[in-house]
Amino acid sequence: MPVTTLATIAVVAVATTIAPLISDRLARWVVIPSAVLEILLGILIGPQVLGWASENDVIGFIADSGLAMLMFLAGYELEFGQVRGKPLRLAAAGWACSLALGLGIGLLLHGFSPGALVVGLALTTTALGTTLPMVGDAGLLGTPLGARILAVGAFGEFGPIIAVALLLSGQRPMRTALVLVGFAVVAGIALWLASRPRSERLRRLIATTLGTSVQFGVRLAMLVVVLMLWIAGGLGLDVLLGAFTAGLVVRLFLDAGDPRETAIVHTKLEGIGFGLLIPFFFVVSGMRYDLDSLLAAPAALLLIPASVIAFFVVRGLPVLVLHRRDLPRRPRWTLALLASAALPMVVVITTIGTEIGVLPAANASALVGAAMLSILVFPLVALRGP
């Protein structure tokens, strides 16, 4: 491996380690999510500021693996038994309203152009994988409000992935729709197999290797991730669709076994994700951030606060309206604010928009900057104490 690559990995590793220390030091005044600090540190060490780290194929692959792991864990946290019924129906209706609002704002900004589609889809996203640790720390997972957070967040992650596949893949929509149906069949078979009672030999192997060097349960989970990424990519779909589906499959499989082993494997998977790959993704996202284009276009700077407001209008307002009969005022606002926090899929969608030449780099940077602010502000307000 080239020395420059190792140097970049070392610098990124330092940044991922420093971020929680800074967050902990600042916690007495303000709670800043580690993901935001990781992106800011990535901008600092990246080519546009200090120039200590630069991206190549190896660095990009590790970062993309982190994004896939983030989507995997988002899918893993989604328990159908907890969110089915009204929470899921309201979440679906809310995302449909968000899609209409987002596309409307996109049309106002870019007219009838592909850029309007990119902006509209970016505004419909929710950073479920990023906010879940904060929601868990607040003790909301496993509660009725937690079920609605999961449902709304799942549609905010999964809906944009499907929309991107249909509308921004560069392929004919009808062909993409047929491919999606094929993937849905494969995913359905995988989910059915995962829910089947496991053999005694498989159960014993998972249970007896949890504390050994074999770690068969973790290996099996990672195999599912790789296979679903391969299937989605082979079909010409976004691999993030495969990652999210893999999370659903692994969760269903583990829930069919011993709760103790499920908890242990879950902890190990989170260790791989949040301990290594996901922070790497956020730091590299900062390194990729086009700060020069943003600073060179003063008008784009005004898009940052405007986009923060747009995230709430597009995602938060439908939640406030649709859940008004089921949730008291305070939990409803908590749900709406968490739904409005966006980041990973904004990075993905704006990157696609700039690569195909329909979204100016300055506008893409403004949207990502607004997404960073949404992750900083909305969960902080949503999860504050009474």
Name the maximum alpha-carbon separation found in the chain.
Answer: 64
Q: Return the HEC string of 316-340.
A: HHHHHHHCCCCCCHHHHHHHHHHHH
DSSP 8-state secondary structure symbol assigned to residue 197: P
Would you state the pLDDT for residue 294? 87
Q: What does the pLDDT profile of the chain (386 residues) look like in tens digits?
A: 677 899 999 999 999 999 999 988 888 887 788 888 999 999 999 998 999 999 999 999 999 999 999 889 888 887 777 777 888 899 999 999 999 999 999 999 888 888 899 999 999 999 887 888 888 878 888 888 988 999 999 899 888 988 888 877 666 767 888 888 899 999 999 999 998 888 888 888 888 888 888 899 899 999 999 999 999 988 888 888 899 999 999 998 988 777 888 888 889 999 999 999 999 999 999 999 888 888 888 888 889 999 999 999 999 999 999 999 888 999 999 999 999 999 888 988 998 888 888 888 899 999 999 998 999 899 989 887 55
Q: What is the pLDDT of residue 223?
A: 94
- pLDDT at position 136: 82
Q: Give the model's pLDDT for residue 206.
A: 86
The pLDDT value given to residue 169: 65
pLDDT at 13: 95
Rounded Cα distance, 300 and 291, in Å:
11
The H or E element containing residue 207 is helix 200-208
| pLDDT recorded at residue 166 | 80
- Please, what is the end-to-end C-alpha distance for the chain in angstroms? 52
> For residue 324, with 0-12 CB atoms within 10 Å meaning exposed, 13-18 middle and 19 or more buried, which class applies?
exposed
CA 328 to the chain's CA centroid: 28
| pTM score | 0.87
| Domains delineated in the chain | 64-382 (1.20.1530.20)
How distant, in Å, are the alpha carbons of 194, 256, 257, 286 from that of 199? 12, 11, 10, 46
So what's the pLDDT on residue 66?
93
